[in-house]
Structure 1
Amino acid sequence: MTKYWIGVASLNHVMGGVEGGFSQLCHGKEAPLKRMKPGDWLVYYSPKRELGSEEKCQCFTAIGRVKGSDIYPFAMTETFIPYRKDVDFFPNAKEVPLHAISKLDAWQKYRSSLRYGHFEIDKAFFLVLAEKMGLPMKYENK
């Protein structure tokens, strides 16, 4: 059964993943990637523009579908080797500001989960986000 997820990462990290076709969550931990299966959907929320910066983003910034089950290490530096999983990101996703959905009842049950960095959402809330991000419904059923 398809599951729907939110990942939390700075915009610059999200865009690196979109360009590279991968997801890297919770500072490179393997566990969140293990929860996502092929065919699952991932929406990224970016609280900030860059890691370590105070410049806020506060938008949903990318949406994609998990491509495979492989989780692999990727050496970014000699001492930082995070885990990644391939994701097919929708190339024309629109950024959706948090304030555009903050009044929805569905969001109220998830907002405190942002601190976890990766969490499951229900299909109804995913469809709201997907529509606002411009994802064609034919893409969702692919």
Structure 2
Amino acid sequence: MERPRRYWIAIASADHVATGKELGIMQVCHGKAAPLKRVLPNGYVIYYSPVASFGTQNRLQCFTAFGIVREGTVYQVEMAPSFKPWRRDVLWLTSRDVAIHPLLSELNFTRNEKSWGYKFRFGLFEIDQHDAEIIADKMLIDN
């Protein structure tokens, strides 16, 4: 039996998202495995970048990547002796960055939310198909 497709928003600075796109991977919540285990193959992942560069206050507030989770499981890599993050492979689609502000009133997860940015603090959360389709319509280029 085929499982229903799920749609996810992951959060990372745009520079970290760019690295993930180059490597064909996603990594969330400072490399934790548990959140990634909820993101199953064939699901959609949309990255939101509150800032352009990690550790800065240079606001971006854009969706910066759109991809499909590849078959396989989460796996761990050693980036440094004290940092061994978990990852999942993703097929990144050709996309453009899209600012969130023009979409706030259209998206179910932000509509009528005064504190719409609060959800992003979790690092990864599920959205509905309606929201994923709105974001895809704005982001995807000839896919």
Q: Report if aligned partners of 1:25, 1:33 keep a CA contact under 8 Å in 2.
A: yes
Distance, in Å, in 1 between the alignment partners of 2:40 and 2:60 is: 28
Q: Secondary structure at the match of 2:70?
A: strand
Partner in structure 2 of residue 117 of structure 1: 123
Partner in structure 2 of residue 99 of structure 1: 101
From the superposition, tell whether residues 13 and 105 of structure 1 become closer, same or farther in structure 2 (CA, over 3 Å).
closer
Matched positions, count: 136
Amino acid at match of 1:95: D
Q: Report if aligned partners of 1:93, 1:133 keep a CA contact under 8 Å in 2.
A: yes
Q: Report if aligned partners of 1:10, 1:46 keep a CA contact under 8 Å in 2.
A: yes
TM-score by length of 2: 0.89
- 1:71-126 per-residue CA deviation (whole Å, 9 max, x = no partner) reads 11111111111000000000x20100011212225242583311111000000100
CA deviation after TM superposition for structure 1 residue 134, in Å? 2.2
Amino acid at match of 1:30: A
Q: Report if aligned partners of 1:101, 1:107 keep a CA contact under 8 Å in 2.
A: no
TM-score by length of 1: 0.90
From the superposition, tell whether residues 67 and 105 of structure 1 become closer, same or farther in structure 2 (CA, over 3 Å).
closer
Counterparts of 1:1-142 in structure 2, within 5 Å, are 1-90=4-93, 92-108=94-110, 111=116, 112-136=118-142, 139=143
- Please give the root-mean-square deviation of Cα atoms over the aligned residues, in Å: 1.5
CA deviation after TM superposition for structure 1 residue 135, in Å? 4.8
Aligned identity (percent) is 38
Gaps of at least 5 residues in structure 1 are none
Distance, in Å, in 1 between the alignment partners of 2:131 and 2:70 is: 22
Distance, in Å, in 2 between the alignment partners of 1:126 and 1:68 is: 20
* Structure 1 residue ranges, 4+ long, deviating more than 6 angstroms after superposition: none
Amino acid at match of 1:132: K
Q: Report if aligned partners of 2:62, 2:99 keep a CA contact under 8 Å in 1.
A: yes
- 1:45-66 per-residue CA deviation (whole Å, 9 max, x = no partner) reads 0001111111111100000000
From the superposition, tell whether residues 5 and 135 of structure 1 become closer, same or farther in structure 2 (CA, over 3 Å).
farther
